[in-house]
Amino acid sequence: MNNSQKPYLLVRSLLMGLCIMFLCLISETAKSQISLLNKQIDSLENALSKAKGPERNAILIEYGYALNIKDTCESIKILNKGIEGAIGQNQHSTVIRGYYLLLHVFNSIGKRDSAISISRKKIAYALKFNYLKEAAYSYNELAKFFLNQKDFDSTSVHLKNAEKIFFQISDNGGLGDVYDKLGLMAVMQGNYKEANSFYDKALNYVQNSDSTYLIGLVTYHLGFSFFQTSDYELALIRVHKALEIWENLDNIGLAPRWNCLEMLGNIYLKVKRFDLALEYHRKALAVRKLGWDGVIADSLNLSYAYSYNNIAETYFLMNRLDSAYWYADQSLKIKLRPATLASNTDIANSYLNTAKIILALGQIQQAEKYAERSLYYYISANWKDGVAESHLLLAKIYRKMVLQDKEMLHLNEVISITESTGAKLIQKQAWREMADLLLSQKKYKESNEALMKFRSLNDSIFSEDMNKRIAEMNVKYETEKKELENTFLHEQNTSQKKIKLYLFWALGLFVAFALTLAGVVMLLRKNLTHKNDQLSRQKQIAQLIEIQHQRDIEFKNLELQMLMGYIKSKNDMLETIRTVMLDEIKSNCNAPVETFQRTVQTIQSHLVSDQDWDMVDKQIEKLSSGFTSSLFDKHPNLTTGDLKLCAFIRLHLSTREIASILNITEESVHKHRYRLRKKLHLNGDSLEGYLSEL
């Protein structure tokens, strides 16, 4: 510590002392508590004067701890004396109790090093005499201390030691507490996926313990972690459940309740349910005032500052900027007072919120100043998500100031931080801003890449997998709710008679349920048999229809073959007659040439008549479900001759058969096929294959 810091710390200590004196003078609750403690001290003094032997050491330790409110030095001295006496008489549980109380005394006066030393002595003594549970919980307490100091390595070491012992003694509550702290450590490091894994493991253990409060605590922490990873539906489920658990517990204070209400307000804020967000934040403020009324001045109450900050953020998103600024300013003023002992994270949160509001009010220079202060405090607190949000806000400010280099610098910082922490929502906003910045610089390719990353993140937040997980968590929540209700029922009804009565009713319900289930199973089987019969009949009908359809096709094919045979035979006969008459005309000069020529022309016109083609076309349409019309729709440039040739090719007639039916040469058929391939735009594809697929 340098000399320049000493006056500040001295003034701060004096202010804290004055605040404590002020609280003791104005608080009736504090006065009554002091009076009660004084009576306890008098009672212990009286018991101590009469006690002898081993009993005296236990009373001496309790007396020394109670004396802490009057004389801390004397309290420590008496506690040490009682511990030494208990060690000398091998009173192991009394020694451990003495170390526990001495540890609390050192913590109350801020002597952390002495508290750590006592914790280690307690652990060594407990392990030596096989008090494993006390040793494990001491490791847990040490881990909590180092976690508050952000000494994650030491925290991890002590939690591993506690975990090993809790496994050895099968303490589910202790294991749940260990994994809960590991989850909290992961959250503080920004590793939310790892945190969720630890919290799930913690929840599995505490649900098999007797600590309902711890179940609520782990459930709340899991909801907080889901909130940080933008899994808002899961966060709502968990925090609502934690609130439900804690509202049914007595003697846990009001802090768990207002923390849940505040978290629900924050979640609803993220999903843009501003009405619900404002409602829950106001409820949290009301609960805080209920707990602190008459105990501490409003201007020094850090708890009120949290609610003011949250209400300010809600008003800001509702675009009620004047109200938002008033609440944000009140919150920041409280946190900046040394007597409130606000953390760097708390102060950073207020600076960030106020900067956003001031920016919206158009005061850009002032917004830049506040954003830089929030960045400074977040860095001091080593809170990565806060650092990323501050960089993002500074990037937006520099965009308004048209300082693109600075804007790019801060956006890159945001992306780098969020890629390591997995904070998808902040990262998504950064990529959106980056895409706009690159577009303004006419870097179109880079802008498009940034936009694609933004869309990818946006899609992943509300993916189908998340919807599935939400459905699974809803089912699990309902199941766990029923289990919790049964547990409460069991704890509240300790009487043997009531237990037997409940068992009787449970048995009756089970029998009724079994009978109902049997009836349902029978109905389902009957229904299934009926459906199978229907399916079997439908299958048989379908098979008969298919057989009939195949027969119809075969019959139509036979008709078509007969028709084509008839046309071919007719054409052959007419061609023979025509040839004979032409030969007669050439060889017989007396033949009636004019009559023969008309007859030949008539025969020529009937070789392939329109009537024959209509019959063939209709039969093809029946077999091919509109082949000709479909072909003409796809290729309207085809002539009637083209359509005839396509129909004959589809019927797999040879070139000779087609030439015979059309009364043309085989060479003409080849030429016609060549022209037809061009009209159908067929390059290397088979003409027969193409027509068969239509």
For the chain, give percent helix, strand, coil, nearest 5.
Answer: 85, 0, 15
Q: What is the pLDDT of residues 577-621, one digit of tens each?
A: 777 777 776 676 565 656 656 665 666 555 555 566 666 666 666
How far apart CA 11 and CA 289 sit, in angstroms, is: 28
The per-residue pLDDT for 310 is 86
Q: Is the pLDDT of residue 25 over 50?
A: no
Q: Is the pLDDT of residue 50 over 50?
A: yes
> Is the CB of residue 311 less than 8 Å from the CB of residue 357?
no
The per-residue pLDDT for 297 is 61
Q: What is the pLDDT of residues 72-120, one digit of tens each?
A: 888 888 888 888 888 888 888 888 888 888 888 888 787 888 888 888 8
- Residue ranges, CATH 1.10.10, the chain: 608-694
- Residue ranges, CATH 1.25.40.10, the chain: 25-130, 318-329+336-422
The CATH code for residues 608-694 is: 1.10.10
Q: Quote the DSSP letter at residue 378.
A: H
Q: Residue 265: pLDDT band by 50, 70, 90 thresholds? A: very high
The per-residue pLDDT for 371 is 92
The CATH code for residues 318-329+336-422 is: 1.25.40.10
**Count of CB atoms within 10 A of residue 399's CB?**
18
Q: What is the pLDDT of residues 306-340, one digit of tens each?
A: 888 889 888 988 899 999 999 998 888 888 888 77
The per-residue pLDDT for 493 is 53
Q: Is the pLDDT of residue 49 over 80?
A: no
The per-residue pLDDT for 424 is 83
CA distances to 152, 161, 206, 266, 621 from 166, in Å? 21, 9, 13, 35, 83
Q: Which residues contact 469 (CB under 8 A, 6 or more apart)?
A: 231, 234
Q: What is the pLDDT of residues 530-560, one digit of tens each?
A: 888 788 888 888 777 777 766 666 665 666 6
Residue percentage of the chain with pLDDT more than 90: 15
How far apart CA 416 and CA 9 sit, in angstroms, is: 37
Kindly indicate whether the domain formed by 25-130 is annotated with CATH number 1.25.40.10.
yes
Q: What is the pLDDT of residues 625-671, one digit of tens each?
A: 567 788 888 888 888 888 888 888 887 788 887 887 777 888 998 89
> Is the CB of residue 57 less than 8 Å from the CB of residue 82?
yes
Q: Which residues contact 277 (CB under 8 A, 6 or more apart)?
A: 265, 266, 268, 269, 314, 317
Q: Which residues contact 143 (CB under 8 A, 6 or more apart)?
A: 154, 155, 158, 159, 162, 178, 181
Q: Is the pLDDT of residue 14 over 50?
A: no
Q: Residue 62: pLDDT band by 50, 70, 90 thresholds? A: confident
How far apart CA 649 and CA 93 sit, in angstroms, is: 104
How far apart CA 219 and CA 207 sit, in angstroms, is: 10
> Is the CB of residue 324 less than 8 Å from the CB of residue 315?
yes
Q: Which residues contact 629 (CB under 8 A, 6 or more apart)?
A: 621
How far apart CA 633 and CA 335 sit, in angstroms, is: 79
| 175-184, 300-309, 412-421: segment of lowest average pLDDT | 300-309
The per-residue pLDDT for 23 is 39
Helix axes 344-360, 384-400, angle to 10 degrees: 20
> Is the CB of residue 677 less than 8 Å from the CB of residue 622?
no
**By C-alpha distance, which of 438, 572, 489 is closest to 212?**
489
CA distances to 293, 378, 459 from 372, in Å? 35, 10, 32
| Chain centre distance of CA 623 | 57
The per-residue pLDDT for 563 is 65
**Count of CB atoms within 10 A of residue 217's CB?**
22
Q: Is the pLDDT of residue 365 over 70?
A: yes
> Is the CB of residue 291 less than 8 Å from the CB of residue 258?
yes
Rounded to the nearest integer, the mean pLDDT of the chain is: 79
What would the 3-class secondary structure string for 514-561 be? HHHHHHHHHHHHHHHHHHHHHHHHHHHHHHHHHHHHHHHHHHHHHHHH
How far apart CA 501 and CA 546 sit, in angstroms, is: 66
Q: Is the pLDDT of residue 482 over 60?
A: no
